[in-house]
Structure 1
Amino acid sequence: MDLSPQHTNGRQIHAYKGCSDNVHYGIAVSKEFLEAAERHKNHSHERKLMNEHNNRAGREVLISSLRRQCKCHGISGSCETQTCWDAVPSFREVGNIIKEKFDGATEVKVIRENRHARIERKNQMLKRHTPTDLVYLNESPDFCEPSEEQGILGTHGRTCNASLLAIDGCDLVRKNYY
């Protein structure tokens, strides 16, 4: 634990390294958990590559979203000394960032070279995906129309319940979210 003070503009700032959210441990556990789950699924090699990429992108979102939080200490709130730590943002904040990435996801294909495989954007005219972008292999089905073979009930012609904010709520049905 490092409690050595750093001086800036006559104030002491303690970079306390003992009580921050243990993000790196959480990242390691989530990686191990998701990779173990992926190994036991019967997905194609392509889907596994896509899932690994997207899982890594999600972890990067969390790491890049860390916020430095500080608390002032001193007589009458003078902030003579400041204690700072890194904190994970709210679940909603991280979810909003991932939703934005989902909305801008890149369609990819798997390229096999020798004994290695990698994902590459399907349409070369579109921007190249980055390690923090989400990717997908296939277009999503049309959820408006029913499809027995895909298990989709569809929303076209469905009556909504105006008093609900849940799945049958009018806002969600009208916006074709469900």
Structure 2
Amino acid sequence: MRTSNRQSKMCKREPGLASVLKAAKIQAITACEEAFQYDRWNCSLIFNKKAKRSIFNKVFRETAFVHALIAGSIAHAVAKGCASGELYKCSCIGSFRNVSSQWKSDGCGDDFRYGKKVTRNFLEVKYAGTDQIAEILKQDVSVGIDSIGEQMREVCKCHGFSGSCTTKTCWKRLGPFNSAMGLLKKHYHHAIKKKIVNYTTKRAITPKVRRRMEVGRNTLVYLQKTPNLCVSTAGRVCKDRPNCATLCCGRGYIVSKRSVSSRCRCKMVDCCFVQCDTCVEEVDHFTCK
């Protein structure tokens, strides 16, 4: 995904945005690779290295997921950047109000509304056109952003003498990005395949066509069936024997022994220190043929 002129201008206009976007990219890659570590698709942007088949050549299930993942990660990183002060165009202004005879102040929270706005502008959702593929990608981007928004929670902290709660500071906070990956992966597995009506990317959507394309608001949409991923799983590490049966596509797997070190027999020493031994255990290591 190359940066457009418009995206470059956004980064120049807002100091700190480039570093926030870099952090969003890293957290998206890390969370995705961890979540799909033992799946046939391991979050690679290439289906087949020999054929160099990119997931962006068409709108596969994986393509839809990556668009949602990128959108969610940007929205999350920007919202966090507002609260931490990395971004200057979004502010954190608290207000006070009386709640049940207690003063409740709004603390400095994650500005998800601004994160959502920046994400849509940066991914140029508004400027993608009115063709059918653009509508599908808009839907996938929205699913990613909404998955992050569902993690928003109110966090409060009490202030007062002797443990009383005369003043309560509250703010909205997003959970860790990994906490949203479970929901995003669920959307990946429940994605719906749609057909292009009167296929041409240049043709505008009529009301009749729009009704035929409509799906649930929180549903990922893709157009083409994923190619056979079994050709890319040779040499992959699988979790256990049941996982190998799926990941290795019936080719079998190699079992080897590996030594794993861990802390064990921990005990308290001299009141306030924890002392542990180092234990070495032989474990099975599975690799697809």
TM-score (norm 1): 0.66
Aligned partners of 1:13 and 1:84 also within 8 Å = yes
Query: In the alignment, what sits opposite 1:42?
Result: none
User: How far apart are 1:73 and its partner, in Å?
Assistant: 0.9
What is the SS of the residue equivalent to 1:131? Answer: coil
Query: In the alignment, what sits opposite 2:140?
Result: 54
Which consecutive unaligned segments of at least 5 residues does structure 2 have? 1-92, 250-289
The structure 1 segments of at least 4 consecutive aligned residues displaced by more than 4 Å after TM superposition are none
- Of structures 1 and 2, the one with the larger relative CO (CA 8 A, separation 6+) is 2
Query: In the alignment, what sits opposite 2:205?
Result: 116
Question: How many aligned positions are there?
Answer: 144
Query: Which amino acid letter does the alignment assign opposite residue 190 of structure 2?
Result: G
Query: In the alignment, what sits opposite 1:13?
Result: 104
- How far apart in 2 are the matches of 1:91 and 1:177? 30
> Is 1:171 aligned with 2:252?
no
User: How far apart are 1:85 and its partner, in Å?
Assistant: 0.8
- Change in Cα spacing, 1:92 to 1:2, as seen in structure 2 (3 Å) is closer
- How far apart in 2 are the matches of 1:31 and 1:177? 39
Query: In the alignment, what sits opposite 2:116?
Result: 27
- How far apart in 1 are the matches of 2:124 and 2:190? 25
Residue 85 of structure 1: which of 163, 166, 171 is its match? 171
User: How far apart are 1:177 and its partner, in Å?
Assistant: 8.9
Query: Which amino acid letter does the alignment assign opposite residue 86 of structure 1?
Result: K
Residue 215 of structure 2: which of 118, 129, 132 is its match? 129
Query: In the alignment, what sits opposite 2:154?
Result: 68
1:21-61 deviation digits (Å, cap 9, x = unpaired): 1212211111112127x85xxxxx44332211100111122
Aligned partners of 1:2 and 1:15 also within 8 Å = yes
User: How far apart are 1:79 and its partner, in Å?
Assistant: 2.1
- How far apart in 2 are the matches of 1:6 and 1:74? 15
- How far apart in 2 are the matches of 1:81 and 1:140? 55
Identical counterparts, % of pairs? 25
Query: Which amino acid letter does the alignment assign opposite residue 122 of structure 2?
Result: F
- Change in Cα spacing, 1:115 to 1:135, as seen in structure 2 (3 Å) is closer
What is the SS of the residue equivalent to 1:110? Answer: coil
User: How far apart are 1:100 and its partner, in Å?
Assistant: 1.0
User: How far apart are 1:143 and its partner, in Å?
Assistant: 0.8
Query: Quick check: which one's helix share is greater?
Result: 2
What is the SS of the residue equivalent to 2:144? Answer: helix
User: How far apart are 1:115 and its partner, in Å?
Assistant: 4.1
- How far apart in 2 are the matches of 1:24 and 1:104? 27
What is the RMSD of the two structures over their aligned residues, measured on CA atoms? Answer: 3.0
1:119-146 deviation digits (Å, cap 9, x = unpaired): 746xxxxxx73112111112212211x3
- How far apart in 2 are the matches of 1:77 and 1:129? 51
- How far apart in 1 are the matches of 2:195 and 2:163? 57
- Change in Cα spacing, 1:177 to 1:27, as seen in structure 2 (3 Å) is farther
- How far apart in 2 are the matches of 1:177 and 1:119? 41
- Change in Cα spacing, 1:177 to 1:14, as seen in structure 2 (3 Å) is farther
Aligned partners of 1:61 and 1:94 also within 8 Å = yes
